[in-house]
Structure 1
């Protein structure tokens, strides 16, 4: 897809990978809705950055786990831009709970992780689908994780939610095609605030471990992941129903 003059929604667009994706889309001439749930100041700042690239951009609050919020966000995007061509389901959450601490994973945390990471992408995709299918078709890209491929990550619930999301990519692509392509990126360790907060004092040691496992010799940045997301959108129209790891080859570490 040529994204010049097109319109996108990026969920979780105020920080991290979402913010980097918004900035890259805007630099390529794509109008953007910068979705946020709590980070209003960050989302407004990202939208302002995008506008400096010469596109329209607006911050929009929506909890992706709430159906009405998803529907309202899509309608607001179409009302603002007159179209919707791309949905990046990037919003995510987790709890850092050791996998062997089964009692430590509360039902409330499990439900919230599943609601944001798995139900949210479905709700947003369902709301967006009629608009994405119009005007020659569109794209959906999910931000998944290697946690859904390898079963390693911040918590059992997080791994399960991303595994479910990977399956949703395939099943949704079947029903969305041929007008809409559906793919995902699956990052590994991402250098940034999210993991810094989650890992605390262990952050640098864990980062070094993952960098040593990566065949590229380093962990990913938000910009690396954003480039993969935009690359799926602007690349071959024959790529759909796929989950593309963005982890420097760490999955193949021996």
Structure 2
């Protein structure tokens, strides 16, 4: 298994990787020997800290500030990856939401809320694959190994729960796009998705006080079959499977990583 996960000599781009799950994925890639391009749109100081931690693990890591909801931002990231002549790994992790947990309140979301969320969560991953396609194909041509794309989706896209109707809709669309592009881009590129449930990150912590967060975390753990509240590293470990040769014969998969939340009652929370 160690040989299957040796990522030395590979270049990776992880969007939205200054904090949270993206940061955890970037660090695990660096730990396995990959050179990681860290990305943020605003959190520059956090992004620099992630780069520093990746470099401490031996990675030739650097920060690229770019907004993946724009064609220019995606092009900037692709150009950064192009310095090595190919791109082996692309993780479409960047995502946003508009919090409107009462899904029956149809006035809680505007047209712009939907369009902004789609721009980052669906159009962004598509434009990243569009901008990086030639580099990903070059990886396959040079190594004989399919390049790999991982879309970070959510249980919200499978069950319709989550922070808002708009967010759940975007993740459902991302899951469908994963299937479409896995078929269309094979055999040069593998495309898969992970669908986390609850993840203990700033995604929630920034929207509530510490006591509220602790109560929610305890409630999540009590409501799922595995009786745990997942953290970023728990999901990143699964991501690493899709990004390594351990999954070399896997494409078009959307894997729930939710401690069993989908099996029974789940609170109205999701990444």
Higher mean Cα deviation, 10-19 or 65-74? 65-74
Partners of 2:154 and 2:197 within 8 A in 1 = yes
Shift of 1:202: 3.6
Q: Please name the residue that 2:64 is paired with.
A: 60
Q: Please name the residue that 2:178 is paired with.
A: 169
Pairing partner for 1:108 from 112, 116, 136? 112
Q: Please name the residue that 2:257 is paired with.
A: 246
Shift of 1:199: 4.5
Aligned with 2:25: secondary structure?
helix
Q: TM-score, normalised by structure 2?
A: 0.90
Partners of 2:93 and 2:152 within 8 A in 1 = yes
Pairing partner for 2:40 from 36, 45, 51? 36
Question: Deviations for 1:176-232, whole angstroms, at most 9, x for unmatched residues?
Answer: 101110001100010121111234464333222221222221111101111111111
Question: Deviations for 1:72-104, whole angstroms, at most 9, x for unmatched residues?
Answer: 21111211x332100000000001112111111
Partners of 2:85 and 2:135 within 8 A in 1 = no
Pairing partner for 1:205 from 215, 223, 230? 215
Aligned with 1:88: secondary structure?
strand
Correspondence 1:150-229 to 2 at 5 A: 150-200=159-209, 202-229=212-239
Partners of 1:172 and 1:182 within 8 A in 2 = yes
Q: Unpaired runs of 5+ in structure 2?
A: 266-271
Matched, 1:145 2:135: no
* CA gap 1:202/1:95 in 2 versus in 1, 3 angstroms: farther
Aligned with 1:238: secondary structure?
coil
Q: Unpaired runs of 5+ in structure 1?
A: none
Q: Distance in 1 between matches of 2:228 and 2:203?
A: 18
Aligned with 2:255: secondary structure?
strand
Shift of 1:242: 0.7
Partners of 2:195 and 2:255 within 8 A in 1 = yes
Q: Distance in 1 between matches of 2:46 and 2:97?
A: 20
Q: Distance in 1 between matches of 2:208 and 2:255?
A: 25
Matched, 1:7 2:16: no
Shift of 1:161: 0.2
Partners of 2:195 and 2:256 within 8 A in 1 = yes
Correspondence 1:87-106 to 2 at 5 A: 87-97=90-100, 98-106=102-110
Shift of 1:127: 0.9
Aligned with 2:22: secondary structure?
helix
Runs (4+) of structure 1 exceeding 4 A deviation are: none
Supply the RMSD in Å over aligned alpha carbons. Answer: 1.3
Higher mean Cα deviation, 202-211 or 14-23? 202-211
Partners of 1:151 and 1:159 within 8 A in 2 = yes
Q: TM-score, normalised by structure 1?
A: 0.96
Shift of 1:133: 1.3
